Amino acid sequence: MLNGEPMKIAVVAPSCTLSREAADRLLALVAERGDCEVAVHPQCFLSDGHFAGPDDARLSALREVMADSSVDAVWFARGGYGSNRIAEALVSSLPDEARSKVYLGYSDAGFLHAGLHKADLKVAWGPMPQDLMREGGRGAVTRALDWLVQGDQAALEPQLEGPPMAFNLTVLAALLGTVLEPDFSGVDLLIEDVSEHHYRIDRTMFHVTGSPNVRRAARLRLGRVGDIPSNDPDFGRDEVAIVREWCERSGIAYGGRADIGHDVLNRVVPFTR
Amino acid sequence: MLNGEPMKIAVVAPSCTLSREAADRLLALVAERGDCEVAVHPQCFLSDGHFAGPDDARLSALREVMADSSVDAVWFARGGYGSNRIAEALVSSLPDEARSKVYLGYSDAGFLHAGLHKADLKVAWGPMPQDLMREGGRGAVTRALDWLVQGDQAALEPQLEGPPMAFNLTVLAALLGTVLEPDFSGVDLLIEDVSEHHYRIDRTMFHVTGSPNVRRAARLRLGRVGDIPSNDPDFGRDEVAIVREWCERSGIAYGGRADIGHDVLNRVVPFTR
């Protein structure tokens, strides 16, 4: 509740299309809660090849909700791929109204997180509406809302030693050297990834830990790494061993794996300074 | 022929294991030619998970042939993944004998090409022994030998406007920001890739063309992009459109696609200055 008004959350899709069923489940969940309003932007259901509409449509929907002074939070509908295509244009001109909001999402949305955080906006890594379609998704989305609407600290990733950031490993790698690249100095850096072969994780860890910027992080922790495709021959070591080895080789403190039994995708990591 | 002696070519495997059959085919081809000697290092047949032996074994075999004054050329047996794990250590201490040789390979070997070229050694992108196992491989490997042994200019990638370099796109991206990153100023840059989804090619092009260093290239040309996994939904544009778009967005001259009817993997691109 803000000034007696329920929090207003706008959902837009800067990457891939939100499913109608996920949107319906979200609206039902929000109606049950009664502590916030959610507006799912029609752009979420556009489709243009891989994307939720052409770059222009995704960018203008995002700009629209960012400029709307009645919106308290902008929630990215889902990941996939595509927010990088509009991130640089987005941050090149930000409306003043954008600064009072919180931006929530994960995975591909990391391109926006990087750019918006760099522009001093409030971003957080956390569950997204499309997660309602997967197992445990209702719990995850509920936690996201508990944090957004009520500031529930139980929704946070445990053991954060600020300032924290969280990124999909592949997205983090693709940020290096671009204008969106964050400053990792002193950052408690959580990484996760999905659907990447072990050899790709190894190659990306080589890349990421070869960056002098990433080497300035306070520590690196490994979150959820899921859906690893099998490889022939077997890579010979798992993702924990891979991440630990590259941290050791590059002098980055390895903070261990986030607790077994929870899923980093399901918790909130607010980027703070 | 060098000083009346046939050229001596050492084959090592800094990434994945060479198949015995490819080695047999290579030795048979060389025996037929009679204009060179090929020594396949036993390390090529080691296996350690994904790799042709542990990092130490791959590194020491490579160092051994580089320090051997009787060796005229070092030929990387095949691609796959893994040369990045030894590249920095390799270039940190190079024997004098390494400077008089030529280094030939492509794909994953690009990590070595980058480091060795940066250290002023002679490297070239071109076919590798394992290519003998694929269709058209004998022709490709024959061209590689024609160039290595006889300096045959017909083996070269056509329309090079020096200084040229060629890289696998994913390898190029993983070099950015590392100590191995080449200087692309004024370079005629050929890129190819294999087994990457269109959305991954798009994301990697975003990354690569976001680099100020890559933006200093004279132009970027697209070679072979093969075995693209299908995507659901379809990405909506092909690799030519993707590469052209990112070149346009970043102000890099797009040099077009290398001629249809040949395969960039099958030609030689010597890195020159």
Residue (of A101, A43, A102) closest to A69 by Cα position: A101
A237: closest chain B residue by CA:
B49
Query: Confidence class of residue A162 from pLDDT cuts 50, 70 and 90?
Result: confident
Inter-chain CB proximity B204 and A174 less than 8 Å: yes
Name the pairing type of β-strands B254-257 and B269-270.
unpaired
pLDDT of amino acid A259: 62
Beta strands (DSSP E) in A200-253 are 219-226
Closest in B50, B231, B237 to A236, CB measured: B50
Q: What pTM was estimated for this model as a whole?
A: 0.92
Whether A178 sits inside 8 A of B211 (CB atoms) is yes
Q: Give mean pLDDT, residues A29-41.
A: 97
For residues A196 and A174, what is the distance between their CA atoms, to the nearest angstrom?
14
| Buried/exposed code over A142-157 (b: 16+ C-beta within 10 A; e: otherwise) | bbbbbbbbeeeeebbb
> From A85, which residue of chain B is nearest by alpha-carbon distance?
B206
Give the closest residue to A174 by CA, choosing from B27, B77, B210, B3. B210
**Could you give the CA distance from residue A260 to residue A10 in angstroms, rounded to a whole number?**
33
Residue A262, pLDDT above cutoff 60? no
- Does A235 sit within 8 Å of B174, measured CB to CB? no
Please give the single-letter amino acid code of residue A101: K
Q: What is the pLDDT of residue A264?
A: 47
Mutant choice from A178, A231, A235 vs B, greatest count of B C-beta within 10 A: A178
What sign has the CA pseudo-torsion A13, A16, A21, A25?
negative
Closest residue in A to B175 (Cα) is A207
ipTM, 2 dp: 0.90
Q: Walk along chain B (273 residues) and give the pLDDT tens digit of each residue.
A: 456 789 999 999 999 999 999 999 999 999 999 999 999 999 999 999 999 999 999 999 999 999 999 999 999 999 999 999 999 999 999 999 999 999 999 999 999 999 999 999 999 999 999 999 998 899 999 999 999 999 999 999 888 888 999 999 999 999 999 999 999 999 999 999 878 889 999 999 999 999 999 999 999 999 887 778 887 778 888 889 999 999 999 999 999 887 655 554 578 999 987
How far is residue A141's CA from residue A83's CA, in Å, rounded to a whole number? Answer: 21
Of the candidates B49, B176, B237, the beta carbon closest to that of A233 is on: B49
Check residue A223 and give its pLDDT. Answer: 83
Please choose, from the candidates B107, B254, B112, the residue with its C-alpha nearest in 3D space to the C-alpha of residue B189.
B254
How far is it, in rounded angstroms, from Cα B173 to Cα B203? 10
What is the pLDDT, as a whole number, of residue B259? Answer: 62
A89 has a pLDDT exceeding 60: yes
Q: Is the pLDDT of residue A231 over 60?
A: yes
Q: Cβ(A193)–Cβ(A225) under 8 Å? A: yes
pLDDT at B135: 87
- Name residue A12's amino acid: V
The answer on pLDDT for A80 being more than 80 is: yes
Of B173, B206, B236, the CB nearest to A50: B236
By the 8 A CB rule, do A9 and A148 touch?
yes
Q: What is the pLDDT of residues A123-153, one digit of tens each?
A: 999 999 999 999 889 999 999 999 999 999 9
Strand partners, A8: A37
d(CA B131, CA B104): 13
Residue of B nearest to A204 (CA): B174
**A6: preceding bond cis by omega (within 30 degrees):** no
Residue A41 has pLDDT above 70, yes or no: yes
Residues 6+ apart with CB under 8 A from A231: A197, A198, A199, B50
Residues of A in contact with B48 (CB under 8 A): 236
